[in-house]
């Protein structure tokens, strides 16, 4: 039986003793205490551990998202930009759904809606995987009575409909003419604060990502060996501490070390970043430049593809290219090797020499 005690503060303490188990919680209202006690007794009868009052009050999928984020932050794993954006979207789309209402049909409808708005098979697969992660976390860490069976069934249905699957691998490589036009376009614009032309050349020369370029530091530059330390490189398994030293050389048609020296000559403040600009702003400027020059279907990330492909065309092996790009899985590296057939002439000439 449950016993209720009114405290001096006006709150109510409820104590449940049942089948040798003892649990207690404190509530502002007696009705809340009574409802929690009744559910706690039922859970003990089923051989389960009663939920804390904070957990027991969670009703919607949005509550579970907040719980997941709080728990991740508590252990120092705050969601990064990509995952945070997915969680924000899920909270907008499904946050008000009662946990019991998040069934197979609701998830299939969510998938159809997302696909109708332009989400590709890979993106929708990530969305469904994140929903499963949130529900699994609630069940495993907090013992909430949620099931992931509906998510698995919805994934199967969406896959059968062709809405979930692997994304199309991009093989878009910029031509040298497109690169020259973009670089000239930005270099000739006196109102362009960020040196986008220089950043484009550096992206191809190093095969670095947009955010990596805008976060590398002068203090991590080794002048004697011409090496650069990239901190916390993107990796699906290691989100932090995945540091890598890369060489700054001229293997891809642009001299990475010379570009850094150009940037050093323009340094005007104490910011430790070599390219002290917002990565999103760089991406926005790049897209605007492509639009101005009528260069279609070219993303900034394609410059990383281009740099990687040029390393292979220069004759480097997979192991050697991985030392520059940071790929841990060589199978993943294969998708970046969109070599141009004419490059085989240069490789043959190099081997002959």
What local confidence, expressed as pLDDT, does residue 134 receive? 94
How does strand 221-222 pair with strand 227-230?
A: antiparallel
C-alpha distances (whole Å) from 313 to each of 153, 188, 240, 244, 286 are 45, 31, 32, 23, 25
3-class DSSP string for 281-295: HHHHHHHHHHHHCCC
**Token pair of 270, please?**
């104490």
Taking the C-alpha atoms of residue 32 and residue 37, their distance in angstroms, rounded to an integer, is: 9
What local confidence, expressed as pLDDT, does residue 110 receive? 95
Taking the C-alpha atoms of residue 261 and residue 245, their distance in angstroms, rounded to an integer, is: 18
pLDDT tens for each residue of 2-29 = 878 887 877 777 777 887 777 777 767 7
What local confidence, expressed as pLDDT, does residue 7 receive? 79
Burial class (CB in 10 A: 0-12, 13-18, 19+), 252: buried
Q: In sequence order, which residues have a C-beta less than 8 Å from that of residue 105 and are 6 or more positions away?
A: none
The beta strand positions in 19-165, using DSSP E, are: 21-27
Q: What is the pLDDT along the chain (353 residues), one digit of tens a residue?
A: 787 888 787 777 777 788 777 777 776 778 877 877 787 777 777 776 666 655 556 778 998 999 899 889 888 888 888 899 999 999 999 999 988 889 999 999 999 999 999 888 989 999 999 999 999 988 888 777 788 999 999 999 999 999 998 766 677 899 999 999 999 999 999 888 999 999 999 999 999 999 999 999 999 999 999 999 999 887 756 656 689 999 999 999 999 999 999 999 998 888 999 999 999 999 999 999 999 999 999 999 999 999 998 998 888 888 899 999 988 777 777 766 556 666 666 666 666 66
Specify whether the backbone of 168 is left (phi greater than 0), alpha (psi in -120 to 50) or beta. beta
For 8-37, b where at least 16 C-beta lie within 10 A, e where not — what string? eeeebebebebeeeebbbebeeeebbebbb
pLDDT tens for each residue of 41-54 = 777 777 766 666 55
Sign of CA dihedral 173, 300, 90, 116: negative
Nearest residue to 249 (alpha-carbon basis) of 186, 212, 207: 207
Taking the C-alpha atoms of residue 307 and residue 207, their distance in angstroms, rounded to an integer, is: 5
C-alpha distances (whole Å) from 278 to each of 81, 183, 273, 319, 329 are 14, 19, 11, 32, 29
Lookup result for tokens 């032309």: 197
C-alpha distances (whole Å) from 232 to each of 73, 74, 86, 182 are 18, 20, 21, 29
Taking the C-alpha atoms of residue 308 and residue 183, their distance in angstroms, rounded to an integer, is: 19
What local confidence, expressed as pLDDT, does residue 98 receive? 87
pTM of the model: 0.68
Taking the C-alpha atoms of residue 303 and residue 307, their distance in angstroms, rounded to an integer, is: 6
Specify whether the backbone of 5 is left (phi greater than 0), alpha (psi in -120 to 50) or beta. beta
What local confidence, expressed as pLDDT, does residue 240 receive? 64
Residue 167, helix vs strand vs coil = coil
Taking the C-alpha atoms of residue 257 and residue 228, their distance in angstroms, rounded to an integer, is: 10
Provide the 10 A C-beta neighbour count for residue 60: 17
Nearest residue to 94 (alpha-carbon basis) of 132, 51, 137, 53: 132
What local confidence, expressed as pLDDT, does residue 118 receive? 87
CB 226 within 8 A of CB 249: yes
């Amino acid at each position: 039986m449950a016993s209720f005690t009114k405290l001096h503060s006006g709150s109510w303490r409820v104590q449940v003793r049942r089948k040798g188990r003892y649990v207690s919680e404190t509530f502002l209202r007696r009705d809340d205490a009574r409802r929690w006690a009744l559910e706690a007794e039922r859970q003990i009868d089923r051989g389960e551990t009663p939920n804390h009052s904070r957990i027991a009050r969670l009703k919607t999928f949005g509550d579970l998202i907040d719980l997941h984020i709080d728990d991740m932050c508590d252990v120092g794993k705050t969601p990064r930009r990509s995952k945070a954006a997915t969680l924000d979207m899920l909270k907008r789309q499904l946050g008000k759904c009662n946990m019991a209402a998040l069934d197979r049909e609701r998830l299939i409808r969510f998938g159809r809606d997302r696909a109708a708005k332009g989400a590709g098979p890979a993106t929708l697969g990530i969305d469904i995987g994140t929903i499963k992660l949130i529900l699994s976390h609630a069940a495993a860490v907090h013992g909430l009575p949620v099931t992931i069976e509906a998510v698995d069934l919805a994934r199967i249905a969406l896959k059968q409909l062709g809405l979930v699957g692997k994304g199309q691998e991009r093989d878009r490589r910029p031509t040298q003419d497109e690169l020259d036009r973009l670089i000239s376009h930005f270099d000739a614009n006196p109102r362009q604060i960020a040196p986008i032309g220089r950043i484009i050349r550096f992206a191809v020369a190093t095969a670095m990502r947009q955010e990596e370029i805008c976060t590398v530091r002068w203090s991590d530059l080794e002048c004697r060996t011409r090496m650069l330390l990239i901190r916390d490189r993107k990796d699906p398994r290691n989100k932090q501490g995945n540091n890598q030293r890369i060489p700054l050389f001229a293997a891809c048609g642009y001299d990475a070390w010379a570009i850094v020296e150009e940037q050093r000559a323009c340094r005007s403040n104490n910011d430790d970043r070599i390219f002290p600009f917002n990565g999103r702003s760089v991406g926005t400027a790049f897209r605007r430049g492509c639009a101005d020059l009528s260069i279609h279907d070219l993303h900034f990330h394609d410059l990383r593809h281009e740099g990687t492909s040029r390393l292979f065309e220069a004759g480097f092996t997979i192991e050697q290219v991985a030392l520059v790009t940071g790929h841990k899985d060589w199978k993943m590296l294969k998708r970046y090797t969109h070599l141009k057939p004419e490059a085989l002439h240069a490789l043959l000439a190099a081997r002959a020499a």
